[in-house]
Amino acid sequence: MAGAADLCRLNLVLSSNTPNRLLTAANFTRPGSLAAGAGVQPKSAPSDTDLEFVARAGKDRLLKVPSSNIRNFSIIAHIDHGKSTLADKLLQMTGTVESREMKAQFLDNMDLERERGITIKLQAARMRFMYNNEAYCLNLIDTPGHVDFSYEVSRSLAACEGALLVVDASQGVEAQTLANVYLALENNLEIIPVLNKIDLPGADPERVSREIEEVVGLDCSDAIYCSAKEGIGINEILSAIVQKIPPPQDTAERPLRALIFDSYYDAYRGVIVYFRVIDGTIRKGDRIMFMASKKDYYADEVGVLSPNQLQVNQLNAGEVGYLSASIRSVADARVGDTITHYSRKAEESLPGYKEATPMVFCGLFPVDADQFTELRDALEKLQLNDAALKFEPETSSAMGFGFRCGFLGLLHMEIVQERLEREYNLSLITTAPSVVYRVNCVNGDTVECSNPSLLPEPGSRRSIEEPYVKIEMLTPKDYIGALMELAQDRRGEFKELKFITEIRASIIYELPLAEMVGDFFDQLKSRSKGYASMEYSFIGYKESDLIKLDIQINGDPVEPLSTIVHKDKAYAVGRALTQKLKELIPRQMFKVPIQACIGSKVIASEAISAIRKDVLAKCYGGDITRKKKLLRKQAEGKKRMKAIGRVDVPQEAFMAVLKLEKEVL
């Protein structure tokens, strides 16, 4: 450990030399008053010698500190407000990651995250910070910002005592900002407001501070102004974490209870568990038990995430770490379970997490039928890493064996499909996204149906209910009309319009989830030129005028192409599907009718004309009766062929129609 003189010097380095102090009128220049690119002018950067002391403290992060000096915190924000950049700078300023190893979005270790520029998985990192000559252990959990990954946010907040609320100083409060604040308040966390990106020309921190106070209700008198990119205000953030976030309770003497907040499958070591020790102490070699699954193992390896895995001999109450115990079965260590000692069991398990409710469903089928078992194994391993994913086996006459999967939203669905293809080397077909309908039957039963083929017959059902969501759109006032028109077109029910500031408004609608799983978000962004944001929550089921739309080819219903649609949209969807199928199905030796039906009523129809052989080619003259006889014989043959003939719908046609359904629905 560094000597007392070194520690004093380190504290001075971080408090005075680094370009990260709270902005005041003296060192903050309004955009436009300087040359292009001006704004916040950082003070002199720390020297190489000073940074060596910071790095030395960072390397001592495995040394134990009293539980009163531990701080567990999370970073929450709307998507693209600079969470990952701030996490990078915190890691760098505390010497946790050496400069030569540093790269942008350091904690985003998936290729997919880097390509899209978004955080998908929560990541934990342990840092060491010197404050008033005392060493503090800071456990950071970086969280995603998109609404589809709010389940990741809720799990990380359950392992913390405080949170940094990061808000873009140019964009202000957005929909997910509010949602994340409410999640943090539910967990009784201490919230520190941080205004990021103050170096941007369009930044207006005073306006955004007022916005946070008015909309969120947080006191912003001591909000921290920072620029993660330029390294401004970072030390103020670290100091605020130490001063304001309460330490965990010292319960090391109690029986072990540790909450699993994440896990993943390693091909060589089995299931690796990330956990937060709530009570007691866990040591390497201890015999532990998972309280939900009742399985016991020996802890082969215990360590901390800093941000790479570093082994330690023990973890005490309040600390965050990982555990490897040669766990082969993915079902033995689930997220939300409680770890305790086998010999000294805890009396009751921790509350865990509320089960994630899937909002969007789709079918996942392997292109090669031989990959079915590989797909099942891949889904089980991915479910370990993504607890919000749900799946069950499904069979389709068109695509064979596959799985019906439940997701939290469309982006979640897209990410899961891409992860399965990349990480597990699978080729997949996805069906159009759908939602779970609730069917009230005549005999009083209620049936939940996520697949049109499982819908009860019209005679046995009394009504169909569909899920509704409450959607809040935050938008500049110029786009209010366009967004209200969009919501009205999607069968939305207007609830409230209020101005949160002079130039920004909040529009609240209730609309069917089925109308939102298509291109609603894309339309919202295009109609508002990218300025609007949205947040939605499930409110329950409402009865709607829904029908099952069947597609018949040559008189035979094709179940995989059936859909559940609203009565008002049935004709448009039926017309689009029949026209597309006419282009895709190859011509036969007989005429093939393609019909969209509601029950026995045909609402849209197309026909593929027959391939016709010229039977009159050999007739170069002679009596007309000869020609009529040949034509009559051909017609009889086609009639017989049509009666016994079967039309095979090619895989490409299914794929194209599924793509069309995603657009039309």
Residue numbering of the annotated binding site for GTP: 77-84, 142-146, 196-199
Strands 556-557 and 123-131: unpaired
Classified as helix, coil or strand, 493 is strand
257: part of which helix (H) or strand (E)?
A: strand 257-266
Residue type, 532: A
Q: What is the C-alpha separation between 320 and 142, in angstroms, rounded?
A: 13
Q: Which residues are annotated as a binding site?
A: 77-84, 142-146, 196-199
Classified as helix, coil or strand, 597 is strand
List the Cα angle 654/655/660 in 5-degree steps. 95
Cβ(450)–Cβ(437) under 8 Å? yes
CA distances from 444 to 225, 439, 441, 450, 540 (A): 60, 10, 5, 20, 19
Q: Sign of dihedral through CA atoms 363, 368, 372, 375?
A: negative
Q: What is the C-alpha separation between 170 and 80, in angstroms, rounded?
A: 12
Classified as helix, coil or strand, 57 is helix
Instruction: Report the half-sphere exposure of 553 (CA within 13 A, side-chain side).
Output: 25
Cβ(472)–Cβ(500) under 8 Å? no
Phi, psi torsion values for 99, nearest 5 degrees: -55, -40
Helix residue spans in 490-623 (DSSP H)? 513-516, 520-527, 570-584
Classified as helix, coil or strand, 12 is helix
Q: What is the C-alpha separation between 358 and 436, in angstroms, rounded?
A: 9
Classified as helix, coil or strand, 93 is helix
Rama region for 99: left / alpha / beta (φ>0; ψ in -120 to 50; rest): alpha
Q: What would the DSSP string read from start to end of 504-520?
A: EEEEEEEEEHHHHSSSH
Cβ(518)–Cβ(565) under 8 Å? no
Q: What is the C-alpha separation between 483 and 488, in angstroms, rounded?
A: 9
Beta bridge partners of 498: 506
DSSP letter, residue 236: H
Q: What is the C-alpha separation between 228 and 226, in angstroms, rounded?
A: 6
Write down how long the chain is: 665
DSSP letter, residue 98: -
Q: What is the C-alpha separation between 351 and 535, in angstroms, rounded?
A: 27
Structure tokens of 212?
């946070």
Q: What is the C-alpha separation between 128 and 266, in angstroms, rounded?
A: 28
Structure tokens of 289?
């038990």
Q: What is the C-alpha separation between 260 and 269, in angstroms, rounded?
A: 17
- Helices 4-12, 48-59: crossing angle, 10 deg rounding: 120
